Amino acid sequence: MDLKGILDDFDKEQGYKCQLLRNRPYTGQPHTDTGERGKTEIHGITFRDLRDAFVLAAFDAGNDQDPTGHNFDTERQGQVTYNHIFKLDLNKIDPIAWAQNMSCRIEAMMGIFPNIPPLKDKDTTTPPKQKDD
């Protein structure tokens, strides 16, 4: 593959050229939502669970904003309400981190977190080819 093709794939994976079409390929790194991990179907959660994951993920990505006045930890269930989200400064939240945290919250609710493909051993028996100058 040429450099232009590699950069184009990178732009698509990072969302710069990614159109949000359901039939687009999962070309991202295996451990990301745009890769193999992203192929996992959601089962066993309700729409309320989905909404809870969305709100809790905002706090996870909120750069340690503390809308409750309590230095809460990363397991915020029972410590925040839907109304606390209005106290977050959404301009200080990375929207990609919010989306990634939401995926992790959903995987936890499904009992499959961390949903990461197994690592493959790198073949170290064959030395890399040397490039001639």
Please report, for the chain, the start and end positions of each structural domain, with discontinuous segments joined by +: 1-39, 43-117
Q: Are 67 and 108 in contact (CB under 8 A)?
A: no
Number of residues written out for the chain: 133
Report the alpha-carbon distance of residue 122 to residue 103 in Å, rounded. 28
Predicted structure pTM score: 0.71
Q: pLDDT for 66-125, tens place per residue?
A: 666 555 555 566 677 888 888 888 998 999 999 999 999 999 999 999 988 787 777 666
Contact 17, 10 (CB under 8 A): no
